[in-house]
Structure 1
Amino acid sequence: MKRIDILASEATFETLETFETIEQLNETVREYKCKYKEMLTNTEISVLDILHRYSAKYKGVSFLCKNTIGKLVGKSRRTIIRVCQRLEELGIIRQYAMKRASDMQQTSNAIVILPTKCDDVVVNEPHVTQEPKENVTPRKTLPSKTNTNTKERTAKPAWIPQAFFALLDSHIHSVKEIEEYWRSVYATTYRMNLALEERAAIGIEAFFAMKSRLKQLRKPIAYYTGVVKRMAKQRYVTGLFADVFNG
């Protein structure tokens, strides 16, 4: 989660809004729940529903504290923190650390539900207390076509393993699409006791398997997710047997 000093105020919440209408917000949440229906746990879906329910005043923005969310879904604060981190890693939400204007002490985070097509909508970062931003792009403005091949667009996100990114970048050349494939690997292997290097290796092997059948596939990412799931499960079970017999 990005840690910056943002003053909690109506102006800030209005700046963070990601939707123009409640209907757009509702449709986006439905799309996320459909897209990740096999990956999200019941608790994660419940938290998303709570964030959705309390994001009506500032469309897409809620500012419930983790304790309150926990009480509403019957889970501990620690569990809610983990759930929000996972929703953020999947690209469903973004969290902003907030401070009260009265005493500059930390208050509840603003939790923003992101549009499903983030490249089609520019979401403003709120004004920070340290220094103002220059030439901020107006919220919800379509990006110009001339910006699609800039260094910023092709830079590797820090949360994607280098080996995985390098392979897919040599075939795809789209950071957004590479992010989608890594989210699939991360979400599918989330509850398995696998090291990051193992996850990356599974993702790479699954990509080659998918690539060999690419012309036959209507939805490559769906096929890819299935391959990752099978490979990860096989590796996980093999590891369990090795632990039993070697122990």
Structure 2
Amino acid sequence: MKILVADDDAQILRALRITLRARGYEVLTATDGADALNQAVEHRPDLYLIDLGMPHLDGVELIQGLRGWTTAPVLVLSGRTGSADKVEALDAGADDYVTKPFVVDELLARVRALTRRVPGQDAEPLTRIGDVVVDLTATTVTRDGTPPEPVRLTPTEWRVLEVLVRNAGRLVTRQTLLRDIWGSEHVTDTGYLRLYLSQLRKKLEPDPVTPRYLLTEPGMGYRFDPTGGHPDGPAVAGPAGDV
């Protein structure tokens, strides 16, 4: 079990590293949010212990960056005791919140509780669609160039794309997309999906008429194929009009 501890207090880092390693955990440490995010992408920890008041990226910004591509549990360790701080961290994607100073036994119990969860499958932080790069951490889409050219998506286009990319290679039903993005009252409004998939293909696919990445599974839903239909990957789907 690999845990990343991000805190700008050297004493707390040292104490947690010793305590967690003594319990058999592999421990990574970072003293600022940017370093923590880089280590997260490189090492893929199973759990995060994050302070809120860090330089470069604060704890909330770090959590938001992580939640773009990983479902690993996040436990906030912070000296901020106000309810507004707790709500902000939890809304950003934290799973639990412990205030400093904390009792070690309680902290370890919360770590055990979080690690008992069945782990989800993380998406790749950077995903390529032809000459376009989708960055789930920064929530940006850029086209290759010097410098890279931003591809502007509407908020709803981004949400559709994010769901598909996070489930790369897997069928996402129309009902799932409609419920997650528009709400349960819209699960029969398939016209929404045809419209937004068409727009995304025009902006992202090398040939929008014959999509290779954003594929339609007729009568069922959609699938993101990260291979682009290369010979060693899934077969290329039909044209966009086969919904």
Query: Which structure is higher in RCO with an 8 Å CA cutoff and minimum separation 6?
Result: 1
TM above 0.5: no
Point out the structure with the larger strand share: 2
| TM-score calculated relative to the size of structure 2 | 0.29
Q: Which has a greater percent of helix?
A: 1
TM-score (norm 1): 0.29
